[in-house]
Structure 1
């Protein structure tokens, strides 16, 4: 389960500021947290404010190439099978992770597809207007590890209580 925070709407022109990942298992005990130095001078102050960080603070974050290389190693270490990218808003989160992986490492360990947590729940409920967010236990704080953990909790609930067939 992955969640990202950015300082704008698209990768390349804007920067991914931070991201968190949680291996979905019963314990939710394997996490990754990356804080990335901006790749562009361009940023949207409102988008950056969501992350809770200032522009001065993010300027001191880590080199994105190192963070993405470390994340690739973490994925390889914790995933026993082909890793599957799942997020609350995979259209947004995926484009940043995919772009950063290809730009900085030349390869995306997740391949070329992703899964949307909200869509999984909508299918379970057979209702395109419903939301899974009440299934989170961890408060949604915009710390990407907290948010990924809450989403992973929701996915585990979908498996345990709603019969979602998913292999961990």
Structure 2
């Protein structure tokens, strides 16, 4: 945990004093997602998706009673790469993904930068033609 906080530049103690209560934060997040989706079905995508999805889904259900992403609303980009590129699913990790759809942004570990990077990778993967026959 200290390493993650050091990379992000965040102060966990400060969050305890200044951060929003989970109920409020998750409600505001849900409202923001629904507004940003503008009537479309939002998804959480990740690489791998399981880390963010587990945390986010639990918090949303626990503190708001539902998720704007529904179930399942979490495509995994490593799995998507494997289905399009052809390697066995267990052989795929972010470091072994196909190079063509990868995002060209520098990975900073800053939450907003990471979100933009992941969104670009997801868009690239969705547009990338399958190599499978």
Q: TM-score, normalised by structure 1?
A: 0.61
**Match 1:70 to one of 28, 35, 38:** 28
* Residue 47 of structure 2 corresponds to residue 97 of structure 1: no
Number of aligned residue pairs = 120
2:45 to 65, 78, 86: 86
Deviation readout 1:40-98 (Å, 9 max, x if unpaired): xxxx4334334331233322222222221111111211222222221122111001101
Q: Which runs of 5+ in 1 are unaligned?
A: 1-43
1:107 aligns with 2:107: no
- Is residue 123 of structure 2 the alignment partner of residue 156 of structure 1? yes
Runs of 4+, deviation exceeding 4 Å: none
Q: Contact 1:118–1:132 (CA<8 Å) still a contact in 2?
A: no
Matches for 1:50-65 after TM superposition, within 5 Å: 50-59=7-16, 60-65=18-23
Distance 2:80 2:61 in 1: 27
Native 8 Å contact 2:85 2:98 kept in 1: no
Structure number with the higher strand fraction is 1
The aligned residue for residue 45 of structure 1 is: 2
Say which is worse superposed, 50-59 or 103-112, in terms of deviation. Answer: 50-59
Alignment match, 1:8: none
The runs of 5 or more residues in structure 2 that have no matched partner are none
Deviation at 1:163, TM superposition (A): 2.6
Contact 2:77 2:125 in 1 (8 A): no
